[in-house]
Every structure is written in C-alpha cells, then in structure tokens.
Amino acid sequence: MSGVAPIDGETRDDAVDVLDDLLQWQLTAERWERVEALVRSLDQALVEGDGDALRAATAELELAGPVRITRIGSKALIPVPEKTRDRANRLVHTLGGRPREPRPDGTTADVGGDGDTVRTGTR
C-alpha cells in the first residue's frame, strides 16, 4: 500500500491500552454509540494497515471516554454493551494483547485462548 503509514508497536500498544480501558467505562447509551463507531473506525484502520488512521481513531476513542463530572439529573450510565466489548476484545487479540473481561468487583481478568482466566488484576 503506497502512501499509507505502517502500524508501529507504539501505535498498537496505545490502541490496546484504550480498548482495554473502555471495558471499565460507564457511559450513556448515546456515548456508547459514539464509542462503537470509533471502535469500528479503529477496526477498519487495522484491516487496511493504516497507521495514521489507527492513531487518529485511538486518539478519538481516548477522548470519548468518561468525564469525571456527572451532571445532577443526567442520563443513566451503563457498562460497555456486549457488541462493543466483543469487538474491543477481538481487536485487542488481533493487535497482540490479551482480551480482558471486567468483573463486578472492579478487577479484570486476562482471558487465555481457551477461555480460561490466566491472571487477575485491578485497573
């Protein structure tokens, strides 16, 4: 592919980090729609091997994360929708990271290729 910047290790690591983080986010349904669109953009950039597009999608995804201030009377925050979680985990795996599953107690578990939990930790 001429004119397309390659995907380097730092770009891959940044994408894995934000995809991993989004598993812990609590957002409104509308914000999750935006996040899902950005995850699709990240996926497309990866398919095309476009490092610049992957960096841009990763940066936008980081900015789409939760804000620290929630307005009184604001809409309900919900955890990551299953479709978005599944796509993010697939992308983490494709990018060379380990898919992570959030747990109700706030910890996360790395999931091995056979579905077994191999390590737990907090984020």
Domain boundaries, the chain: 9-122
pLDDT band for position 96 (cuts 50, 70, 90)? confident
Q: Helix (H, G, I), strand (E, B), or coil: what is residue 102? A: strand
In terms of average pLDDT, the best of 8-17, 89-98, 104-113 is 8-17
- Closest to 38 in 3D by CA, of 20, 26, 56: 56
Q: Which residue has the higher pLDDT, 113 or 100?
A: 100
Residue with the larger pLDDT of the pair 24 and 73: 24
- Residue 76's pLDDT band (boundaries 50, 70, 90)? confident
Whether residue 38 contacts residue 91, with contact meaning beta carbons closer than 8 Å, is answered with no
Q: What is the pLDDT of residue 99?
A: 52
Query: What secondary structure does DSSP assign to 35-99, as a single string?
Result: HHHHHHHHHHHHHHT-HHHHHHHHHHHHHTS--S---TTPPPPEE--HHHHHHHHHHHHHTTS--
**Average pLDDT value for residue range 10-28:** 94
- The Cα 47–Cα 13 span in angstroms is 16
Would the pTM of this model clear 0.85, i.e. be above it?
Answer: no
Which run of H or of E encompasses 31? helix 29-48
The candidate with the shortest Cα–Cα distance to 22, out of 48, 60, 55, is 60
